[in-house]
Amino acid sequence: MQDKNITPQALWVKLAFRLFFRELKRGELTIITAAIALAVLTVLTLSSVTDRIGQSIEQKSNTFIAADRKLGSAHPLPDEYKTKSKEYLLKTADQIFFDTMLFANDNLQLSSVKAVSKEYPLRGELIIKDDLTEQANDYAVKTGPTPGNIWLSESVLYALDIKIGDKVELGAMNLIAQKVLVEEPDAPFNIFSASRRVLINIEDVPATQVIQPGSRVYYAMLFAGDEDNIVSYYKWLKPKLSENQSWWGVKDKQSWLSGSVNRAEKFLLLAGLLGIMLAAVAIAVSAKRYCENQYDPVAMMKTLGGSRSNVRKIFVLHLSLVTIFAIAIGLLFGFALQLIAVDYLSQSMDQALPEASIRPWFIAIATGATCALMFSLKPLLDLFDIPPLRVLRRSLGDSIAVSKLHLLLSALTIFSLMLLFSGQWMISSILFLSSAALVGILYGISRLLFKAGRGIGLSPGSSWSLAIASLQKRASANSVQLVSFALAIKLLLFLLVLKNDIINDWQSQLPVDAPNAFLVNVTHEQLDPIENMLSAKGISTTGFYPTVRGRLNAVNDELLARDYSEQDNEKKDEEAKSGIGRELNLTWLTEVPSQNEITQGKWFDTGVTGEASVEEGLAERLELKIGDSIEILIGSERFNAKVTSFRKVNWSSLKPNFFIILSPDLLSSFPATYISALHVPKESKKSLNVLLKTYPTITMIDVDSFIKQIRSTISQVSIAIGFVLVIVMFCGGLVLISQVQASLQERMQEVVILRTLGAKGRLIKLATLYEFFLLGLIAGLVAAIFSDIALLLVQQHMFELAGKLHPMIWLVGPLIGAGFVSSLGYFMIAKTLKKNTSDLLRVLS
């Protein structure tokens, strides 16, 4: 009686829910639910983990500038900037940089002074120690010196011949030498700048009376806070910035670190994109299979009088319920997995990872819903067209063709999801187009191979014959499987090789014996005794490079723009060609430095004079061509040199590098100082104090702390990359599982038929194993080739690595594909092969 009162609207809703719960209970929704959940899980896990790792890497990197952002100028910064920042909940600190003479015990030393406010540093820590004795240990502090005190680097203490507690005269003020300054988070890594580091409180600057009109001073304001607040603050600040004020973060500076951070973030982004592609493939396969499984129920409904409209409503709601349920499952497991991942990474990195934003959840839900809709759209439309006669003739509807429009919409869906996730056209296009080419070519090749299988002429009763016959029988289905296998293998090979190339490139630039110190301001007379002293202590060098300060004055007799003073109301010369804006460190060499590569032209000819080699970035900026003439100004002397080569310089190498190298005849007559990079073992560090005391005019720059920070960052990034790679490989394996599951019912039917015809169990097992072996072998070979092509493009255009082919993966790819797919495929159907024929028939019914 109650059913009679149910409205037609409520009836189809009730039927949809009944169908959903019945199929859920019977396990018929396993494949599509698992596929959608896999997509959501993959995207949520990868997005959350990469988001948190990216934030962690950026926070770690921000310690290199002691803040999240830095605002600098050669003139005092307005107080308005700091006042306004408080409205955006930002922390701030002030800095003033200048060079001056320090006096103590009748000794004097030119030093680089950094005056800081009490809030400094906003990120990172200062490392100090209490005295110069061997018993003194380094320790970290969160704030700088208090007023009246000065912290000095070891080299300054040695040069002034003082100890902790002595007075140091800085301008008109006497300060107490309170601590030994060991490390600063934002210490400049410039081997040509002054290395005599000194730290004072900014409140002491006025009393020193050092800063006078015309003094060369640099002012900086540090900012730290929530990234969204910083971005909002910069939107307010940007229109107010003048030309002589610069705003930047750690990734804005062209440094070794910024390149490493950018590479790491791009790799994590790639991993997320590959995860999306793998998940989309799994849904595309399972959605088609899901709709095919509904052919019989739809035919039955139409036989019982159900209209096409009601059938459409029932199955649209049914699919919506499946999608919602699968998304919820994916979110649940994805959240749990990313918690496990974050906990592992936090322990490995020895630091807590920041919280992820809401964006990964949004992308995960959007991915699951969009994929379910777009990949099910055409199969659903086909489902509604199933004729009622299928209840009598089960083959009706099986020949429905795949629509080209559906394929196009599916491809656009995948590309749109990749673009949504990455926000970058180039990286999305390279991966998408290379994968699309793989799909198209491999599908065509596979159809030809499988159709030609009958002509091989193997023994009728052999396992190989049965395997090839099975491949040929399911040519279309196996072609799709082959494409899916190849796509998964291609993406995994791509990520694995790229990960190794990136980390190997980092590690090659920082080998164990990399230089960790520099000697600067060495005179010609000091060369021999210093080299002998270093050799006696077992300290290796990169050789001594002569340096002369000079200015690039003109190109082809056209003067370059020089510096101009805004303070003195001087106007920029708009007609002059853009120049360097500062003096350069020039050198002369007879051979190309090991860390340089000639990219155009040729190195200096023996006996030819007046030649110059220019770094390719500078050449591009000045629009130089081989054969151009450049004018160099040193003091009051000027001379011309002919550009004979351009060089690619590895600025990441811890060795002296130069924008311009001149032939020896041009510079050898000028007074020069020498510079060298050293590798100083830890046990030899103390012995260098003798050298500094013997030659107080020499500057030694210790970059051990810089290298330690870089290696720490690389280690953390490597752990993160490795973990993300494991997640993507796991997702790739699940894609392969979903493909095998999709064909499981058809394979069960084949097993029943073969057993009925008298085939032995061993024959069927081997045939199945060989079938998957051939699928994996072909998929692995094609995947390796396309993966290498994509790698070549990505390495050159995204990661600024030397693009190269990897012939080894052409061999490894097929072996991995054959072994992985055959093992996985056989494992998946092993349970089916163990069942007796009556059990299989019961399952199929």
pLDDT surpasses 90 at 204? yes
Most confident region among 133-142, 391-400, 574-583 by mean pLDDT: 133-142
Q: Which of 204, 206, 216 is nearest to 178 (CA)?
A: 204
CB-based contact 206:172 (threshold 8 Å): no
What are the distances in angstroms from CA 721 to CA 503, 716, 789?
A: 9, 9, 22
CB-based contact 501:461 (threshold 8 Å): no
- CA separation for the pair 595, 604 (Å, rounded): 17
Beta bridge partners of 520: 699
Q: Which of 728, 68, 727, 735 is nearest to 342 (CA)?
A: 727
Helix (H) or strand (E) holding 523: none
CB-based contact 548:634 (threshold 8 Å): yes
**Exposed, middle or buried by CB within 10 Å (0-12, 13-18, 19+), for 6?**
exposed
Beta bridge partners of 550: 584
Q: Which of 318, 300, 301, 290 is nearest to 13 (CA)?
A: 318
pLDDT surpasses 60 at 255? no
Q: How many CB atoms lie within 10 A of CB 594?
A: 11
Output the pLDDT for position 563. Answer: 45
What does pLDDT average to over the chain?
76
Q: How many CB atoms lie within 10 A of CB 432?
A: 18
pLDDT tens for residues 533-570? 888 877 878 888 898 888 888 888 888 765 433 333 44
Phi-psi region of 804 (alpha: psi -120 to 50; beta: other; left: phi over 0): beta
Return the structure tokens found at 560: 């370059």
Output the pLDDT for position 734. Answer: 63
Is the CA virtual torsion 752, 754, 758, 763 positive or negative? negative
- CA separation for the pair 309, 536 (Å, rounded): 93
Q: What is the three-class DSSP state of 355? A: coil
Output the pLDDT for position 575. Answer: 46
Strand residue runs (E) in 22-106: 69-73, 91-104
- CA separation for the pair 93, 91 (Å, rounded): 7
pLDDT surpasses 70 at 739? no
105 CA to centre of own chain: 52
- The span from the first CA to the last CA of the chain, in angstroms, equals 33
| Helices vs strands, H then E, count in the chain | 23, 23
For residue 791, give the amino acid letter. Answer: L
- CA separation for the pair 553, 581 (Å, rounded): 10
CB-based contact 663:641 (threshold 8 Å): yes
Residues 6+ positions from 325 with CB-CB distance below 8 Å: 20, 24, 29, 33
Output the pLDDT for position 369. Answer: 85
Q: Which of 757, 756, 825 is nearest to 460 (CA)?
A: 757
Output the pLDDT for position 393. Answer: 57
pLDDT tens for residues 754-780? 777 666 767 777 777 887 888 788 878
What are the backbone angles phi and psi of residue 407, rounded to the nearest 5°? Answer: -60, -40
pLDDT tens for residues 772-817? 888 788 878 877 877 777 777 777 666 666 667 777 888 888 888 8
- CA separation for the pair 372, 236 (Å, rounded): 42
DSSP 8-class letter at 541: E
Q: Residue 743: pLDDT band by 50, 70, 90 thresholds?
A: low
pLDDT tens for residues 90-125? 999 999 998 888 998 888 887 889 999 999 999 888
Return the structure tokens found at 575: 């007609």
pLDDT tens for residues 355-393? 777 878 888 888 888 877 777 777 777 767 677 666 555
Output the pLDDT for position 450. Answer: 62
pLDDT surpasses 80 at 579? no
**Exposed, middle or buried by CB within 10 Å (0-12, 13-18, 19+), for 610?**
middle
Residues 6+ positions from 372 with CB-CB distance below 8 Å: 36, 283, 287, 319, 322, 323, 326
Return the structure tokens found at 642: 């002919």
**Exposed, middle or buried by CB within 10 Å (0-12, 13-18, 19+), for 406?**
buried
Q: Residue 176: pLDDT band by 50, 70, 90 thresholds?
A: very high
pTM of the shown model: 0.59
CB-based contact 126:139 (threshold 8 Å): no
More confident call, 643 vs 426: 643
Output the pLDDT for position 842. Answer: 61
Output the pLDDT for position 677. Answer: 83
DSSP 8-class letter at 4: G
Count of all residues that appear for the chain in the document: 845
Output the pLDDT for position 686. Answer: 65
More confident call, 2 vs 23: 23
Q: Residue 1: pLDDT band by 50, 70, 90 thresholds?
A: very low
**Exposed, middle or buried by CB within 10 Å (0-12, 13-18, 19+), for 617?**
middle
CB-based contact 142:120 (threshold 8 Å): no
Q: Mean pLDDT over residues 671-681, rounded?
A: 84
pLDDT surpasses 90 at 834? no
pLDDT surpasses 90 at 38? no
Most confident region among 274-283, 345-354, 515-524 by mean pLDDT: 515-524
Output the pLDDT for position 786. Answer: 76
Output the pLDDT for position 88. Answer: 92
- CA separation for the pair 165, 175 (Å, rounded): 10
pLDDT surpasses 80 at 659? yes
Give percent of the chain with pLDDT exceeding 70.
67
Output the pLDDT for position 809. Answer: 80
Beta bridge partners of 630: 555, 641
For residue 195, give the amino acid letter. Answer: S
More confident call, 842 vs 19: 19
More confident call, 431 vs 770: 770
Write the DSSP assignment of 24-39 as a string of letters.
Answer: HHHTTTHHHHHHHHHH
Q: Residue 574: pLDDT band by 50, 70, 90 thresholds?
A: very low
Residues 6+ positions from 705 with CB-CB distance below 8 Å: 127, 182, 183, 187
Q: Mean pLDDT over residues 16-32, rounded?
A: 72
Range with the lowest mean pLDDT among 227-231, 534-538, 663-667, 798-802?
Answer: 798-802
| Distant-in-sequence contacts of 254-263, Cβ < 8 A, 24+ apart | 254/651, 255/189, 256/509, 256/651, 256/652, 256/710, 257/61, 257/64, 257/710, 257/713, 258/61, 259/652, 259/800, 260/506, 260/710, 260/713, 260/714, 260/717, 261/57, 261/58, 261/61, 261/713, 263/502, 263/799
Q: What is the 3-state secondary structure (H, E, C) of 403-422?
A: CHHHHHHHHHHHHHHHHHHH
Pairing mode, strands 69-73 and 245-248: antiparallel
Output the pLDDT for position 775. Answer: 79
Please name the residue ranges forming H helices in 294-358.
295-303, 308-349
pLDDT tens for residues 452-504? 654 544 455 577 777 777 766 666 666 666 776 777 777 677 777 776 776 66
Q: Residue 85: pLDDT band by 50, 70, 90 thresholds?
A: very high
Q: Which of 585, 685, 578 is nearest to 632 (CA)?
A: 585
Give percent of the chain with pLDDT exceeding 90.
12
Output the pLDDT for position 61. Answer: 63
Q: Mean pLDDT over residues 595-620, rounded?
A: 87
For residue 214, give the amino acid letter. Answer: G
